[in-house]
Amino acid sequence: MNGTLLLRIAVAIILLSHSVFGIFNNGINDFGNLYLNQIGFAPFGVFIAWSIKISHVIAAVLLLWNKYIRLAGFVTIFVLLMGIILVHFENGWFVVGGGSNGVEYNFLLICVLLAIIFPNGFKTKRES
Instruction: Please report how many Cα atoms fall inside a 13 Å half-sphere around the Cα of residue 17, on the Cβ side.
Output: 6
Instruction: Please report how many Cα atoms fall inside a 13 Å half-sphere around the Cα of residue 14, on the Cβ side.
Output: 16
Q: Against a cut of 0.95, is the pTM above it?
A: no
Specify the pLDDT at position 67: 97
Q: What angle do CA 79, 94, 100 make, to 5 degrees?
A: 90
Q: For residue range 72-110, what is the model confidence (pLDDT) as tens digits?
A: 999 999 999 999 999 999 999 999 988 899 999 999 999
Q: For residue range 15-59, what is the model confidence (pLDDT) as tens digits?
A: 999 999 999 999 999 999 999 999 999 999 999 999 999 999 999
Cβ count near 15 (within 10 Å): 24
**Does residue 1 carry a pLDDT above 70?**
no
Q: Given phi > 0 = left and psi -120 to 50 = alpha, else beta, which region is 32?
A: alpha
Per the CB < 8 A criterion, the answer to whether 53 and 84 are in contact is no
DSSP at 68 = S
What Rg, from alpha-carbon coordinates, does the chain have?
16
* Helix orientation angle between 69-83 and 104-117, rounded to the nearest 10 degrees: 160
With 0-12 / 13-18 / 19 or more C-beta atoms within 10 angstroms meaning exposed / middle / buried, residue 51 is middle
